[in-house]
Amino acid sequence: MRDAALGVEGTPVVGEAAHAAGKAPGRLPGDPGVWMFITADVLLFGVFFFVFTSGRLADPEGYERSRQHLDAGFGLANTLILLTSSWLVVLAVEAAREGNREHVIRLLKLAMLVGAAFAVTKIVEYALKIQAGITVTTSEFFGYYYGFTAIHFLHFVIGMGVLALCLAKARREAIDERYVAWIESSGCYWHMVDLLWIVLFPMLYLLRAA
C-alpha cells in the first residue's frame, strides 16, 4: 500500500495518504513500547494529582496562602511554550511522512529552540523563589510544587534528548517508514510532557481558594 511517488528532493513519499501527511486511521502512532512509558508516566502523575488534591482538602487556607506566592505568569509562559513546541513537532512528523528532510530538520530545530525556553523560564522561576526564601520545606504546597515540577522537568529533559536524537537521525538517515515510526514515537512522548503540564499548570497556579 506504499505510495511510490517522489516527493521534495526526490526522496520517496511514504504512507497511504502521503499527500495529506496524515496518519493511516486505525494505526497506533509510533512504536508500542513508547506507549508503555507514556502510560506509566501519566499514571504516576495521576497519583501526584490525587496526593495534592487530598493535601489541599485538608488545608485549603494554607495551600492558598502558599499558592499566592506563585506567579501565574511563569506557569502561563511555560504552557504556551510547550504547546508551541508540540505543534512544531506535529509539523515535523507531517514533514517526515512527506519525506521532506529539510523541513523535518528545520522544524525539529525550532521545536527544540522553543522547548529550551521552557528550561530558561523554569530555572528563572526556581531561582526567584529560592532567593525569596521559598524552598521545598517552606510548606506542604511548596514541597509538592517543587517535587512535581522537578519530576516533570526531568521528563522534559528526556523529551529534549529524544528530539535531539530525532534531529541527528534526520541528518544522517533516510526519511523512510522506519524514521517516521521513530519520530512519531518521539513526538508522542513530547506531547505527553505537554499533556502533563496542561494539568499541572491549573492545579498548582490557577485554583484560587474561595
Binding site for other proteins (CB under 8 A): 22-23, 25-29, 32, 35, 38-39, 42-43, 46, 49-50, 53-54, 56-57, 60, 72, 75-76, 79-80, 83-84, 86-87, 89-91, 94, 103, 187-188, 191-192, 194-195, 198-199, 201-203, 205-210
Minimum separation from the CB atom of position 87 to other proteins (A): 4
Q: 155-172: string of b/e by CB count within 10 Å (b at 16+)?
A: bbeebbebbeebbebbee
Minimum separation from the CB atom of position 1 to other proteins (A): 16
Of the pair 37, 133, the CB lying nearest other proteins is at: 37
Report residue 204 as a C-alpha cell.
498548582
Of the pair 10, 32, the CB lying nearest other proteins is at: 32
Q: Is the CB of residue 192 less than 8 Å from the CB of residue 41? A: yes
Of the pair 64, 176, the CB lying nearest other proteins is at: 64
Of the pair 35, 153, the CB lying nearest other proteins is at: 35
* Cell 490557577, residue located: 206
Minimum separation from the CB atom of position 145 to other proteins (A): 15
Of the pair 67, 131, the CB lying nearest other proteins is at: 67
Shortest CA distance to 146 belongs to which of 161, 127, 173, 174? 127
* Helix, coil or strand: residue 202: helix
Q: How far apart are CA 116 and CA 110, in angstroms?
A: 10
Minimum separation from the CB atom of position 72 to other proteins (A): 6
Minimum separation from the CB atom of position 120 to other proteins (A): 19
Q: How far apart are CA 14 and CA 32, in angstroms?
A: 20
Of the pair 88, 133, the CB lying nearest other proteins is at: 88
* Alpha-carbon distance values, 60 to 46, 68, 208 (Å): 20, 12, 10
Minimum separation from the CB atom of position 107 to other proteins (A): 9
* Alpha-carbon distance values, 82 to 39, 60, 126, 185 (Å): 20, 29, 18, 17
